[in-house]
Structure 1
Amino acid sequence: MSPVGPDARRWVDEPAKDTGQGRSAFERDRARVLHSAAFRRLAAKTQVHTAGTDDFLRTRLTHSLEVAQIAREMGSRLGCDPDVVDTAGLAHDLGHPPFGHSGEEALDALATTCGGFEGNAQTLRVLTRLEAKVIGPNGASAGLNLTRASLDAVSKYPWPRRTGERKFGVYADDHPVFEWLRADVPDGRRCLEAQVMDWADDVAYSVHDVEDGIHGGYVTLRPLLADADERAALSADVATTYSGESSSDLAEVLADLLADPLLASLSGYDGSYRAQTALKATTSALTGRFVAAAVAATRRRFGPGPHRRYAADLVVPREVRARCALLKGIALRYVLRRPGSAARYERQQQLLAGLVAGLADRAPEALDAVFAPLWRAAGDDAARLRVVVDQVASLTDPAAVQRHARLFGGPTDAGGWCDLG
């Protein structure tokens, strides 16, 4: 039976659908995300490694599928509606631009005069405005018009931009729908489903990026096993970037993590079938441990459940969170910061800067048919810039390179912009 009440309401009312399928409103949400153009484009957007450079490595699409699976399992064990957390996992990266976090940083700097750019705020914009599915009675797009519960579950950072904070979840001109989906919710508090999705994202990001790094030859555990100074440097990186723990406390957790036979067995990875099997066993075991620890700790504090929405908060034990952060730090130190990375990121950011400038100069003719009317209807320069940024953010990595080539000439392949370095 379809859920009723405010959680299942949509921003724009839709006529009842009698297809005989008996799907709930939340099942429809999941299907809408899964069948969206924005979701398909994730297949050619960078996760950590550039999309298309290796058949083994993850893209934003495969990462999102994995986050959804982890979130669905964890949420189901806590009593959340499985389709709500699944939808949140599938949708959480829809707003990410070409070239991953490098592209996000570039667009944020380029969009200063219209409120900046943030992948999570852009995700809300995609879901409620940019993706084609439902048109409201005023003729404006309502995006996928998901239910309140699903939109709230996608809101990892349910607040506007704050001074000194990089992460936020809504732009100024998207406040009306944001206020609707957050009705009667304390400022800044996240629903349980959003917390489950966020932890699933951290788990997938940390474990799978290390798996990809080991398989690609960028990550080897031998220096960490042999060199105390290298362990201290990694712990300092993590304390600065991913964790509120001190570097000395993280160093102790790292020592325990490296002593785990699961990780120690990967120090001689050679890409063979046996080695890949051991690597996959390690990633599966780590994922299972991180999920089980959060489920058990949440149940200890809030009871067996079922829990959903604002009836409980996800509890992740301190040491488990630190272990996850250390794995993220391994990917940061040995993959994202590998030799040649800084020059590659600079090339990518220059490309996006050129795209924004070129499209703004030649708009609306140079914009896609979806964005050109929005540019014409924009009331000022800031609003027009936001439309251009929306256009650029929607592009895949290769499409950004090709669009740049059409505007300015040059190669249409991604090699010079996206090489592994």
Structure 2
Amino acid sequence: MRHENIAAPGEYGPDDVERWYAEPPKSAHRTPFERDRARIVHSSALRRLGAKTQVLGPGTDDFARTRLTHSLEVAQVGRELGKSLGCDPDVVDTACLAHDLGHPPFGHNGETALDQVASAIGGFEGNAQTLRLLTRLEPKTFTPDGVGVGLNLTRASLDAATKYPWRAGRGPVRADGSTTRKFGVYEDDQPVFDWLRQGAPPLRRCIEAQVMDLADDVSYSVHDVEDAVFSGRVDLSTLTHEVERDRVLTQVRDWYDPPVSDADLDAAIDTLSALDYWVTRYDGTRRGQARLKDMTSQLIGRFCDGAGRATRAQFGHGPLVRYDADVVIPDAVLAEISILKGIAATYVMAPREEDMLYQRQRLILTDLVAVLYDRAEIALAEMFAEDFADADDDDIRLRVVVDQVASLTDLSAIEWHARMCGPDVGTAL
């Protein structure tokens, strides 16, 4: 059950606009949720996403998305979908802009490296790092006794930005007894997590978080394929070939294993390939780019419209906020999104897993954690050096160093490594 001070269905109430640290009254020309969005937009963490890897690294070419452009696109998709369901658009927008703030240099490759070096202190998870950044690391608000509370967003916005509202290993249990490796909070951030989840059903995400998650899935599934086609890494016409079709289907199961049948996935390839806007030939001309962009636009509309209609069919047509409802994703829509993700994984992401470049990227972050821990007093940035000096034990000190490394961009990680560890690996990239 939710907290007794919650609003009526379809409304946001006093609990939803409450902040972890109560701030002095502000002028009334903006809502609390508009302020939340502005704090994300003006944050240094959001700016850094412009130099962090999405799928292809920044500087790979001048077309591929970065984490920043991806986040802006997710926000646009999420805002429109959330608005259609009656969510406050600024709550959804804030969650979408914030959803990748905790990702380290080199994308998921960097996340893997930091998870390994932090295994003894609870690991590393980009989503848990996002919560840590929003509520602790991003310099914006301090209590009178000098404790940093990050951006000090409202409860509704923080909850909407929490994609996995559970600790490591404590997520929903699957039929086979397993649980997802993803999680949304580290042990030492539990107090603020308990506060933001006040009144929330255990393990359940608010509808704004579900909209953010779907917008993320829709955006990167469609846009990663667009980037791959543009760069020449994918030829969508090959999906008519049985061998290539089987490769994609196998990749979907190996990497994502969505809760839809193999028949649904197989049918999704046929459906996508038969769409009149499906790009089976891309020539790089201006008209070709326009057709490619039309495909991405049409697919985003297709997926969002499908989920919007299904959600309305189950929960009615009034405003849906917080825990009033869940986003309903039809199996056919989920299967098509999964196939697009599988295409990008098959032709772009999986082939690079054993690439020397990606091994070097992991080495850069591993080396940086070691050297920064050893030279913390002189090597860490001032704000992290202060955290390191205030730490009570080695586990906390290691977490501070991981915070520092996670905050770096791809380029700054390479530069720091070259300066502190020698130029061999850094310059080779």
TM-score, structure 2 as length reference: 0.93
**Residue number in structure 2 paired with 1:231:** 245
**Residue number in structure 1 paired with 2:101:** 94
Q: For the Cα contact (< 8 Å) 1:234–1:333, is it kept in 2?
A: yes
What is the CA–CA distance in structure 2 between the aligned matches of 1:407 and 1:61, rounded to whole Å? 28
- Residue identity in the other structure for 1:284: S
- Residue identity in the other structure for 1:239: R
**Residue number in structure 1 paired with 2:66:** 59
What is the CA–CA distance in structure 1 between the aligned matches of 2:161 and 2:355, rounded to whole Å? 31
- Residue identity in the other structure for 1:206: S
Q: Equivalent residue of 2:313, what SS?
A: helix
What is the CA–CA distance in structure 1 between the aligned matches of 2:199 and 2:40, rounded to whole Å? 26
Structure 1 residues 232, 249: CA separation in 2 closer, same or farther (over 3 Å shift)? farther
What is the CA–CA distance in structure 2 between the aligned matches of 1:129 and 1:123, rounded to whole Å? 10
Which of residues 415, 423, 426 in structure 2 aligns to 1:402? 415
- Deviation string 1:120-149 (CA, Å, 9 cap, x unpaired) is 000000000000000023311000000000
Q: For the Cα contact (< 8 Å) 2:99–2:127, is it kept in 1?
A: yes
Q: For the Cα contact (< 8 Å) 2:264–2:335, is it kept in 1?
A: no
- Residue identity in the other structure for 1:208: H
What is the CA–CA distance in structure 1 between the aligned matches of 2:378 and 2:81, rounded to whole Å? 47
- How do 1:6-25 residues align onto structure 2 when only pairs under 5 Å count? 6-18=15-27, 22-25=29-32
**Residue number in structure 2 paired with 1:378:** 391
Which structure 2 segments of 5+ residues have no match? 1-11, 171-178
Q: For the Cα contact (< 8 Å) 1:235–1:254, is it kept in 2?
A: no
Q: For the Cα contact (< 8 Å) 1:208–1:283, is it kept in 2?
A: yes
Determine whether 1:170 maps to 2:185: yes
**Residue number in structure 2 paired with 1:343:** 356
Per mean C-alpha deviation after superposition, the further-off stretch among 376-385 and 96-105 is 376-385
Q: Equivalent residue of 1:204, what SS?
A: helix
Q: For the Cα contact (< 8 Å) 1:97–1:104, is it kept in 2?
A: yes
Q: For the Cα contact (< 8 Å) 2:17–2:155, is it kept in 1?
A: yes
Which of residues 255, 258, 268 in structure 1 aligns to 2:281? 268
What is the CA–CA distance in structure 1 between the aligned matches of 2:354 and 2:344, rounded to whole Å? 13
Determine whether 1:323 maps to 2:332: no
Count of aligned residue pairs for this structure pair: 410
Q: For the Cα contact (< 8 Å) 1:294–1:314, is it kept in 2?
A: yes
Which of residues 147, 154, 169 in structure 2 aligns to 1:147? 154
Q: For the Cα contact (< 8 Å) 1:235–1:248, is it kept in 2?
A: no
Determine whether 1:71 maps to 2:78: yes
Which of residues 341, 363, 373 in structure 2 aligns to 1:360? 373
Q: For the Cα contact (< 8 Å) 1:97–1:393, is it kept in 2?
A: yes
- Residue identity in the other structure for 1:67: V
- The offset of 1:229, in angstroms, is 2.2
Q: For the Cα contact (< 8 Å) 2:111–2:125, is it kept in 1?
A: yes
Per mean C-alpha deviation after superposition, the further-off stretch among 213-222 and 333-342 is 333-342
Structure 1 residues 339, 406: CA separation in 2 closer, same or farther (over 3 Å shift)? closer
Which structure 1 segments of 5+ residues have no match? none
What is the CA–CA distance in structure 2 between the aligned matches of 1:165 and 1:288, rounded to whole Å? 29
- The offset of 1:59, in angstroms, is 0.3
Which of residues 208, 215, 229 in structure 1 aligns to 2:230? 215
What is the CA–CA distance in structure 1 between the aligned matches of 2:38 and 2:111, rounded to whole Å? 27
Q: For the Cα contact (< 8 Å) 1:356–1:389, is it kept in 2?
A: yes
**Residue number in structure 1 paired with 2:346:** 333
Structure 1 residues 81, 48: CA separation in 2 closer, same or farther (over 3 Å shift)? same
- The offset of 1:267, in angstroms, is 2.1
- Deviation string 1:361-397 (CA, Å, 9 cap, x unpaired) is 1112110001001111111111110000000000000
Q: Equivalent residue of 2:321, what SS?
A: coil
Determine whether 1:115 maps to 2:129: no
Q: Equivalent residue of 1:87, what SS?
A: helix
What is the CA–CA distance in structure 1 between the aligned matches of 2:128 and 2:330, rounded to whole Å? 28
Determine whether 1:188 maps to 2:195: no
What is the CA–CA distance in structure 2 between the aligned matches of 1:222 and 1:215, rounded to whole Å? 14
Q: For the Cα contact (< 8 Å) 1:232–1:247, is it kept in 2?
A: no
What is the CA–CA distance in structure 1 between the aligned matches of 2:355 and 2:18, rounded to whole Å? 46
What is the CA–CA distance in structure 1 between the aligned matches of 2:329 and 2:180, rounded to whole Å? 23
- Deviation string 1:346-369 (CA, Å, 9 cap, x unpaired) is 110011111111111111211000
**Residue number in structure 1 paired with 2:174:** none
- The offset of 1:4, in angstroms, is 5.2
Q: For the Cα contact (< 8 Å) 1:129–1:143, is it kept in 2?
A: yes
**Residue number in structure 2 paired with 1:137:** 144
TM-score, structure 1 as length reference: 0.94
- The offset of 1:409, in angstroms, is 2.1
What is the CA–CA distance in structure 1 between the aligned matches of 2:169 and 2:93, rounded to whole Å? 29
Which of residues 397, 416, 419 in structure 1 aligns to 2:428? 416
**Residue number in structure 2 paired with 1:294:** 307
- Residue identity in the other structure for 2:300: T
What is the CA–CA distance in structure 2 between the aligned matches of 1:65 and 1:394, rounded to whole Å? 19
